[in-house]
Amino acid sequence: MEITASMVKELREKTNAGMMDCKKALKETDGDMEKAIDFLREKGLSQAAKKADRIAAEGLTTAVISEDEKTGVVVEVNSETDFVAKNPEFKAFVSDVAKTVVEKNPSDLEALKVAELNGKTVQEVLTDKIAKIGENMSIRRFAEEKVNSGVVVGYIHGGGKISVIVALESEGEKEALEVLGKDIAMQVAAMNPKYISTDDVDQEFIAHEREVLIAQALNEGKPQNIVEKMVEGRLQKELKEVCLLEQAFVKDADLTVKKVIANTAAKIGKDIKISGVQRFEVGEGIEKKSENFADEVAKQMGL
């Protein structure tokens, strides 16, 4: 299979590995992007798991919590430029969309687009904004969390670059839950966990990571008889990084998030459970065109 400059570019952006290493990985895996990522990780040349989603598109996210604090939503609306994302009218529209999700509880994006907003459908309001502002915009996604008892807490970071909602189920005092929820939401914004607890981790993910770590250890020249024990240690370390409850608390690294929750629960005399978390970062998973980058790669590699 012919390895193109654009393939090398994509792999390099996903893994942060060198161009020649990316080219070799693609050749070794016959152009299979996922296998090439694993190849680079096994060789210790990539931080792919942490860099898989490149942040590229412009726009805003926001979080809105219902008046009774039982429902929270996050939304992302994309624009072509950062200039428009800073436009007060655009910001107001994003906020209105989030409030509409709270009020109308649409089942999906299509239902949201036909929901009523200021006497028009959301889609009609969006079309008007596009015509007025002169730039394409799109409502990309939304997510919702609800609690039966307890609170949903929101946190918006960087003026809307990242938005988080955390749902806490508890019969405890609302004020204490709000403080805890804000701390956890800030943790999620900063550390971007993949799972809430180790119980939530997909077994396929664990099996895949174990396979990669074993290959990585063998490639480092470690003896076979200690590889398995070493890999289990590395796997547990990785799980602590990707599971929210196991992460070191950003405000006090001596504590885990699980311990912080337990301390608050003991203080208020009621159990606390994180029932849901949503974290939106502007443009994650969307690749923005990089002008002339492919040409630059091709020139350097003689493709």
Mind listing the pLDDT tens digit for each residue in 147-191? 999 999 999 999 999 999 999 999 999 999 999 999 999 999 999
Same domain? For 178 and 88 the reply is: yes
Q: Flag whether pLDDT at 295 surpasses 80.
A: no
Domain that holds residue 146: 58-197+250-281
Q: Which pLDDT tens digit goes with each residue over 109-126?
A: 999 999 999 999 999 999
Domain contains 8? yes
Domain check: are 75 and 46 in the same one?
no
Domain CATH for 89: 3.30.479.20
Other Cβ atoms less than 10 A from the Cβ of 296: the count is 14
How many Å separate Cα 122 from the centre of its chain?
A: 26
Mean pLDDT of 7-31: 87
